């Protein structure tokens, strides 16, 4: 509103000018008016979302296959990137139908290469809506964010989608209505029942160790039995680029996400920096 008021004042000023002999040159007046119009236009234009990859395809949604896959009228299948459905049910398909079925959509993504099933993968936007379908599903608590978008380290996009998820968590919408939706990293028995499934967990890091080219972010002093996040040493530069210095995480409280594996204790392999959040933001 402040910008619009300023532009109004600029136009009003041109109506209260002194006699014509002291008026500015016509070109200057046109420039002033042009600037005022530009300011109004900027103020009234919705801000663009951070997830603005290149356009991969546009089309009309003819059918919804499951909670994150649909088919366009030309037969091309599309999979929604940046979503995972913990304990997903048939309800996720109904939710997606409500958002995209019989709508014109635009697919944006970091790569035009289809996945091994021939599906295009990316962010989906319906009509002129600047918010992605992914953002709307996360807002509803219908899904969680896996940590990246189509294996991209786009931090701005990840931050935006994490923000949508955080809003749903705070409001306890959808999957976040369950008090046990966030697991405790410091209790292995809180995570062990979820082997093979996606979890989001929070807790304080007890130690960070490196062995055999793997970094172990341990959440228990009994590191062989407790829960840990494992990260290949080759990933360090990617984490550094996000401001996550792995070897300085000891005693920090974090939120981690990923699929649980069973080794000596429950493990999550972090394949990208978006799987670890330093708490204080997006909580």
Tell whether 224 is covered by a domain: yes
Tell whether 215 is covered by a domain: yes
Contact yes or no for 162/277 (Cβ under 8 A): yes
Structural domains in the chain (count): 3
Same domain, 39 and 90: no
What's the pLDDT at 102?
97
Structure tokens at 5: 């008021």
What's the pLDDT at 4?
35
Tell whether 220 is covered by a domain: yes
Same domain, 123 and 205: no
Tell whether 87 is covered by a domain: yes
Domain boundary among 152, 175, 198: 175
What's the pLDDT at 89?
64
Tell whether 283 is covered by a domain: no
- Return the beta strands (E) in the chain as ranges: 54-66, 69-72, 77-80, 104-109, 120-126, 182-184, 198-204, 207-211, 214-218, 228-232, 253-262, 266-269, 276-278
Domain boundary among 140, 175, 210: 175
Same domain, 40 and 100: no
Region of 142 please: left (phi>0), alpha (psi -120 to 50) or beta: alpha
Rounded CA-CA distance 59/197 in Å is 33
Q: What are the pLDDT tens digits along the chain (283 aa)?
A: 343 334 344 434 333 434 433 334 444 334 333 333 333 332 332 334 677 789 999 999 999 999 999 999 999 999 999 999 886 567 888 999 999 999 999 999 999 999 999 999 999 999 989 899 999 999 999 999 999 988 888 899 999 999 999 999 999 999 999 999 999 999 999 999 999 999 999 999 999 999 989 999 999 988 778 999 999 999 999 999 999 999 899 999 999 999 999 988 999 999 999 999 999 754 5
Tell whether 49 is covered by a domain: no
Contact yes or no for 158/135 (Cβ under 8 A): no
Contact yes or no for 185/203 (Cβ under 8 A): yes
Rounded CA-CA distance 105/79 in Å is 13
- Full-prediction pTM beyond 0.75? yes
Same domain, 184 and 262: yes
Contact yes or no for 174/141 (Cβ under 8 A): yes
Same domain, 185 and 265: yes
Same domain, 155 and 238: no
Tell whether 244 is covered by a domain: yes
CATH of the domain at 196: 2.40.50.140
Measured in degrees and rounded to the nearest 5, phi and psi for residue 16 equal -110, 25
Tell whether 129 is covered by a domain: yes
In terms of residue numbers, what domain contains 237? 179-278
Rounded CA-CA distance 265/178 in Å is 25
Strand partners, 71: 63, 77
Q: How many residues does the chain have?
A: 283
Domain boundary among 175, 194, 211: 175
Same domain, 154 and 234: no
With b meaning 16 or more CB within 10 Å and e meaning fewer, what string describes 77-92? bbbbbbbbbeebeeeb
Same domain, 144 and 109: yes
Rounded CA-CA distance 255/282 in Å is 10
CATH of the domain at 109: 2.40.50.90
Same domain, 250 and 203: yes
Same domain, 123 and 154: yes
What's the pLDDT at 66?
92
Q: What would you report as the CA-atom Rg of the chain, rounded to the nearest whole angstrom?
A: 24
How distant, in Å, are the alpha carbons of 88, 106, 273 from that of 94?
12, 20, 32
Same domain, 169 and 184: no
With b meaning 16 or more CB within 10 Å and e meaning fewer, what string describes 181-196? bbbebbebebbeebee
Same domain, 96 and 151: yes
The pairing of strands 198-204 and 253-262 is: antiparallel
């Amino acid at each position: 509103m402040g910008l619009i008021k300023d532009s109004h004042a600029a136009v009003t000023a041109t109506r209260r000018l002194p006699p014509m002999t002291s008026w500015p040159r016509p070109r200057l007046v046109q420039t002033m008016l042009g600037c005022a119009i530009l300011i109004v236009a900027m103020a009234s234009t919705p801000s663009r979302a951070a997830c603005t990859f290149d356009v991969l395809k546009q089309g009309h949604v003819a059918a919804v296959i499951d909670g994150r896959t649909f088919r366009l009228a030309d037969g091309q299948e599309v999979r929604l990137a940046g979503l995972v459905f913990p304990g997903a049910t048939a309800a996720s398909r109904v939710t997606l139908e409500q958002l995209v079925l019989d709508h014109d959509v635009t697919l944006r993504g970091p790569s035009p290469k289809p996945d091994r099933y021939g599906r295009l993968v990316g962010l989906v936007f319906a009509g002129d809506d600047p918010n992605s379908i992914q953002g709307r599903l996360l807002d509803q608590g219908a899904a969680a964010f896996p940590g990246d978008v189509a294996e991209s380290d786009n931090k701005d996009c990840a931050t935006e989608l994490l923000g949508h998820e955080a809003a749903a968590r705070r409001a306890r919408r959808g999957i976040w209505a369950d008090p046990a939706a966030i697991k405790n990293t410091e209790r292995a028995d809180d995570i062990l029942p979820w082997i093979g499934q996606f979890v989001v967990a929070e807790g304080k890091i007890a130690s960070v160790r490196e062995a055999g080219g793997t970094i172990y972010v341990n959440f228990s002093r009994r590191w062989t039995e407790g829960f840990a996040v494992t990260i290949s040493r080759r990933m360090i530069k990617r984490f550094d680029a996000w401001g996550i210095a792995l070897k300085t995480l000891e005693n920090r409280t974090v939120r981690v996400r990923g699929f649980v594996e069973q080794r000596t204790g429950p493990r999550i392999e972090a394949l990208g920096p978006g799987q670890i959040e330093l708490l204080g933001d997006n909580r």
